[in-house]
Amino acid sequence: MKVRNTVGLIGAGGVNRSFLARMPALLESLGPVKGSSLRVSRRIANGFRTGVGVSDYAALQGCELIWMFGPENTLDRITAELAAKVRLEGKMVVLCEVMRDSLWPGPLRTASVRVATLNCIPESGERTFVAEGHPAVVIELRKLLALDGRKLIELRPAAKILYLSGVHLGAHLLTPWIAGAVESFRAAGFSRSQAAHTVQTLGARALGAYAKAGAKAWNQADAESLRKAIEAGMETIRLADQRLAALYADSMKRLPQAFSTTPDGKKQSKAASLRAW
């Protein structure tokens, strides 16, 4: 399958270092490239070793598919400038590595553009991507990524915020708990490397159990045993490190919310309770 040869790019903010620079199937079909100036446009095209740097958005009029990559806070301005110079109705636009989804209000929605967003899943080695938006654009993205041996996961409509929640929880918001575990081991006498290795092993085991059994990997007996253990040692932990004690206590407050009952007293499924949490 050949990718359509009427592909344009609007780029800024490190586009030459993005995953777009390592997508042969896309680069093979790249035509006009628009940056903040003609000099920048040519620099982007030269960095990609393909495409033609242009000075005006009007050069994108013949493109059926337009890619956009740039800082989030520039999108409203760029899309307004594009809509002012190009008749966009029916065209396909791909917004790369943005936090917002394809439903955000703006010039593209007003112009009846078929919009999709594309994000590379962190730590996937640029092999797995997520996309959401107009079905026709998602189909094009799936075909294009397949040409380079990449995988595309399609998000449910209006669910991109849930995907980003997963990224933030898995990549960033776990850090305080990881740090707490490491520092607990260190306070008990472990070296930093020993503590980090132990936490990595325990974390991998817990993740493996959850991946295999889902919420069934946890049960009420586990929660009760953990609660008793934490309560028994809380005073000692508080004397050693109040921040660690606070983290411990906060975790215990959240456990009943995630693995207990509904407000009417009925037993709540673990999956449902996790969603509510």
Residue 258 is predicted with a pLDDT of: 61
Residue 27 is predicted with a pLDDT of: 94
DSSP assignment letter at 126: T
DSSP assignment letter at 89: T
Name the 3-class secondary structure at 82: helix
Give the residue-averaged pLDDT of 246-260: 70
Question: Residue 102 pLDDT > 80, yes or no?
Answer: yes
Give the residue-averaged pLDDT of 212-225: 75
Name the 3-class secondary structure at 183: helix
Burial (CB count <10 Å: 0-12, 13-18, 19+), residue 169: exposed
Q: What is the pLDDT of residues 8-19, one digit of tens each?
A: 999 988 899 999
Residue 266 is predicted with a pLDDT of: 47
Name the 3-class secondary structure at 13: coil
Handedness of CA 111, 113, 119, 125 (dihedral sign): negative
Give the residue-averaged pLDDT of 231-246: 80
Instruction: Place 180 in a pLDDT band, splitting at 50, 70 and 90.
Output: confident
Distance set, CA 228 to CA 225, 231, 234 (Å): 5, 5, 10
Give the residue-averaged pLDDT of 182-206: 93
Q: What is the C-alpha end-to-end distance of the chain, expressed in Å?
A: 45
Q: What is the pTM of this model?
A: 0.81
Question: Residue 226 pLDDT > 90, yes or no?
Answer: no
For the chain, give the percent of residues with pLDDT over 70: 88
Task: Find the range with the poorest average confidence among 53-67, 136-150, 169-183.
Answer: 169-183
